[in-house]
Structure 1
Amino acid sequence: MSGYLEHLSQDKALLPILENAQQVELKRQQNLPQYLYRTIINQQLSTRVGQVILERFLNLFGGNEPTSQQVASIDFDTLKSIGLSKQKATYIQNVAKFDLENGINFESLSKMSDVEAIAYISSIKGIGKWTAELFLMFALGREDLFPGDDLILQKKVAELYGLDRSDKKKFLADMYAIAQNWSPFRTYASVLIWRS
């Protein structure tokens, strides 16, 4: 813990959010496809509604996290019946089929760089770059990701560093240059900025 805090505290602009910050603990998820199902289910929903639909999803499989074979085999209309849109039901089955055909596991992903892993996961139809970046952060536990497309991060970084967002190209270049200074702990910085 002290390693990332010590490193990030060299950036004086971050000091206000580092004071009294709770520890950031990155954990590897055991069931990687399940992380993606949960993410797809929760997109654009309130936490409460997402939790209800996730519970219904798990109940389709006896309350357990399903295997990719089970998800790929389940009737499409049954998936929709729990409150999923046609699009989300399709994306969930896309994840299951991709796992069965190509693999979504630590063994294969651990051999990939961040850039390669993001490209690999975002090649699944329905999984964008932002979701793939968060997957690396919160399912694989990778410590040096900065999802710069995230609007909350953009807004807060602009506020902390007094950046002008009117010229988007210049703003993004400036923001990524700032975030580069946080390496190799950009994930921790991102989480702390979100929390703030």
Structure 2
Amino acid sequence: MQPTDPALLHLAQDPVMARLIAETPNPKAFTDYENDVYLALLESIVSQQISVKAADAIFGRLCALFPNNYPKADALLALSFDDLRGAGLSGQKVKYIQSVADFSLTNRLDRPFFDPMTDEEIVQYLIPIKGIGRWTVEMLLMFVLDRPDIFPIDDLVIRQRMILAYPEQTEGLTGKVLYKRLQEIADGWRPYRTTASRYLWRWKPNAV
């Protein structure tokens, strides 16, 4: 981003965020999966609670089970439980990816369908899928649908970095009180909370 970027100009009105931006390499604003929400949901389930390296390996083995390395929903549902477990998925994750595939057969997951929807409407549309929670949908909104004003407060790294960046405002706070204070801080970043979150993820508190 250039210094004249409206998001950076707005965020820099917060002195703390201005310092973080100055200390942090520019995080690239990119989207994954070329708007393929279905594939992104499958990958997010595979990635849950394991390392990036392990997730990449398992997702690669899963995709290799299908023509053109693409796990189309009907083909995925036609595979046996043991076939899917053989790719390295836990039994629970097998059920979750089957839930995504089943949902996609009767519900739209294409970008034009989501474009006119609000962020919260998309959250409520997708969280009925087993294995998909608010945090997962927020990652989808940020990195696949490229929504500009997402604040993933349930992300542990975001909370930890904000506590380090705003010690005077968060000292001694826990639970719901802490969540409320973090939301209040982030309200000042609207309508560019996605950019602020990307800087928080990349910021290295001990690097300077």
Q: TM-score, normalised by structure 1?
A: 0.93
Against the structure 1 CA distance between its residues 23 and 147, is the aligned structure 2 distance closer, same or farther, given a 3 Å change threshold? closer
1:166 corresponds to which of 163, 173, 181: 173
CA distance in 1: counterparts of 2:151 and 2:30, whole angstroms: 14
CA distance in 1: counterparts of 2:154 and 2:51, whole angstroms: 21
Shift of 1:165: 4.8
**Consecutive aligned runs of 4 or more in structure 1 exceeding 6 Å deviation:** none
Matched residue type, 1:181: G
1:181 corresponds to which of 179, 182, 188: 188
CA distance in 2: counterparts of 1:133 and 1:18, whole angstroms: 22
**RMSD between aligned alpha carbons?**
1.6
Where does residue 139 of structure 2 map in the other structure?
134
Where does residue 106 of structure 2 map in the other structure?
101
Where does residue 89 of structure 2 map in the other structure?
84
Are 1:17 and 2:20 matched, yes or no?
A: yes
Shift of 1:63: 4.9
Aligned length: 196
Where does residue 148 of structure 2 map in the other structure?
143
CA distance in 1: counterparts of 2:171 and 2:82, whole angstroms: 48
CA distance in 1: counterparts of 2:163 and 2:111, whole angstroms: 35
Shift of 1:170: 1.8
Where does residue 8 of structure 1 map in the other structure?
11
CA distance in 2: counterparts of 1:165 and 1:125, whole angstroms: 36
Q: Higher relative contact order at CA 8 Å, sep ≥6: structure 1 or structure 2?
A: 2
8 Å CA contact 2:27–2:202 kept in 1: the answer is no
Q: TM-score, normalised by structure 2?
A: 0.88
3-state SS, counterpart of residue 24 of structure 1: coil
